[in-house]
Amino acid sequence: MNRREALAATARVLGGSIVGAQIFLSSCKTPEKKQEPFSPDDIAFLDAVGEVIIPTTTDSPGAKAARIGDFMRVIVTDCYSDAEHKTFIDGMATLKALSQKQYDKDFVKLSGEEQNTLLAAVNKEAKAYASTKREEDPEHYFTLIKQLTTWGYFTSEPGATKALNYLPVPGRFEGCVPYKEGEKAWAL
C-alpha cells in the first residue's frame, strides 16, 4: 500500500468525505491555476450566506467573522476539480437569481427572515437531490456551500476558540471525559 492509498483509506474510515479533499492526496502535482472568478461582491455574498448557516450568537461569532467568503474562494479556486468549481460558481449564480426573482433584491440586502426562508427552501431542494443522487452525479451546490462553511468556520480562529472548547497547550491525555449536555465540543 502506498502513501496515497493509506491516506485515502484512513479518510474513508474516519468519514472524511468533504468534497475537494482529494487535493490533499494528490502528492506533488501542481494543477493548472483556475481563473479567479470571485469579486469583492461575491465574497460579501458568500459571507452573508455563511452567516445564515452559522449565525452570530451571544456566545460566539458567526461565519462572517471567520471571513468564510475568503476561505471558500481559496478552496474553490485552488482545490476543487473543474466540475466542482463549475457547480459552485453556477450555484452562486442560481442563488443570486433566486433572490432577485423572489424578492427583487440582492441576497445581501434581504432581511434576515428573507435570507433564512430562501436558504431553507434551497436546503430542502439539496436534501431531495441528495436522496435521489447517483454516485457519479455532482453534489448539489448548496451542499458544497454548507460543507465549506462548516469546515472553514470550525478551523478558523473565531470558530475554534469561541464556538468550541479550546485549550492551546493541552495537558495530559484523558481518553474518557464525562460529557455534560449543552457543553461545547473540543477543538483538537
Q: pLDDT per residue over 48-75, tens digit each?
A: 999 999 999 988 899 999 999 999 999 9
pLDDT > 90? residue 176: no
The model's pLDDT over 128-168, given as tens digits with 9 standing for 90+, comes to: 999 999 999 999 999 999 999 999 999 998 888 888 877 77
Query: What does pTM read for this prediction?
Result: 0.74
Whether 173 shows a pLDDT value over 90: the answer reads no
Contact by Cβ (8 Å): 91, 144: yes
Across the range 12-41, mean pLDDT stands at 61
Q: Is pLDDT above 70 for 30?
A: no
* Residue carrying the nine cell digits 434551497: 122
pLDDT in tens, 68-83: 999 999 999 999 999 9
For the chain, domain boundaries: 40-162
Q: Which residues of 112-128 are buried (b: 16+ CB within 10 A; e: fewer)?
A: eeebeebbeebbeebee
